[in-house]
Amino acid sequence: MVSELELKEIIGKVLKEMAVEGTSVNNEVKKPSASASVIENGIIDDITKEDLREVIELKNPANREEFLKYKRKTPARLGISRAGSRYTTHTMLRLRADHAAAQDAVLTDVSEEFLKANNLFTVKSRCQDKDQYITRPDLGRRLDEESVKILKEKCVQNPTVQVFVADGLSSTAIEANIEDCLPALLNGLKSYGISVGTPFFAKLARVGLADDVSEVLGAEVTCVLIGERPGLATAESMSAYIMYKAYVGMPEAKRTVVSNIHIKGTPAAEAGAHIAHIIKKVLDAKASGQDLKL
């Protein structure tokens, strides 16, 4: 088991190297004020910018500061008020806004400009569109024929580690985290002297697509950074799934996971450094998932 001190040293080393190379990392958690929204030029403030951990709607809490101490430890909706038997207008609007953000995360695509800026070319699963992606998870676990050809042409074959990005169920999570997480991960692997294949982006992809990628490229370890299913707490959460010598049909128990990568969870750059350390452990042990003892 990696101690907290060792983990901090690993993360600090990677972030320091990134700073030397001029990589921008910004993981400050901004806490918008809980003041009332202001309408200006017919436009109301974005209610989702308000940090629910700093908001207590109860009119007369017995101990406000003590209550806030507990609220700051969870994104759960604690301390909301009501009007009779119903939610207050503010609470209802925030619920609807967060639900809309979750829907957008699932149904929108990662922009081409973002992928180009991060030097990621695109391949796709066998799904034809979002509707099929949602209703046919099995097709999201396999590459289409054209994508197999693209990977064989553009990627390093038989890499020690193959890292790629996938939209999963939240394109929003990818755009919010990849710019900090991917460089930190690649720099971390580089600092360990571990060779990495060619990063790319997989569209309409499920976690299991990594198994197909592993077989096509002959990777020893495969790591996919993928958008998590969004909820009302956040629509920007990403996970990393790490597999040793993955193959199509691989049991879920053989996957090692780092989850809740987002600004209010594990910050992206720190997560990247941590993932690199786990990949080193996977290579040393030649195992992942339940077979890996961290």
Q: For each successive 10 residues of the chain (294 residues), what is the average pLDDT?
A: 64 63 46 50 74 84 90 84 86 89 92 96 97 96 97 97 97 96 97 97 97 97 96 91 96 96 93 97 96 87
Q: Look at residue 52 in the predicted model and tell me its pLDDT.
A: 82
pTM: 0.81
Which residues, 6 or more positions from 92, have their beta carbon under 8 angstroms from its beta carbon? Answer: 86
Instruction: Read off the DSSP letter of residue 196.
Output: B
Residue 34 in tokens: 């809980």
275 touches 191 (CB < 8 A) = no
Please name which of 278, 273, 165 lies closest in space to residue 213, comparing C-alpha atoms: 165
- Buried/exposed 14-36: b ≥16 CB within 10 Å, e otherwise: bbebbeeeeeebeeeeeeeeeee
Q: In this structure, how many other beta carbons lie within 10 angstroms of the beta carbon of residue 115?
A: 20
Which residues, 6 or more positions from 102, have their beta carbon under 8 angstroms from its beta carbon? Answer: 230, 231, 232, 235
Count, in order, helices (H) and strands (E) of the chain: 9, 10
Q: What are phi and psi of 39, to 5 degrees?
A: -95, 120
277 touches 221 (CB < 8 A) = no
Please name which of 208, 192, 209, 191 lies closest in space to residue 200, comparing C-alpha atoms: 209
Q: Look at residue 49 in the predicted model and tell me its pLDDT.
A: 78
202 touches 124 (CB < 8 A) = yes
- Buried/exposed 148-175: b ≥16 CB within 10 Å, e otherwise: bebbeeebeeebbbbbbbbbbbbbbbbb
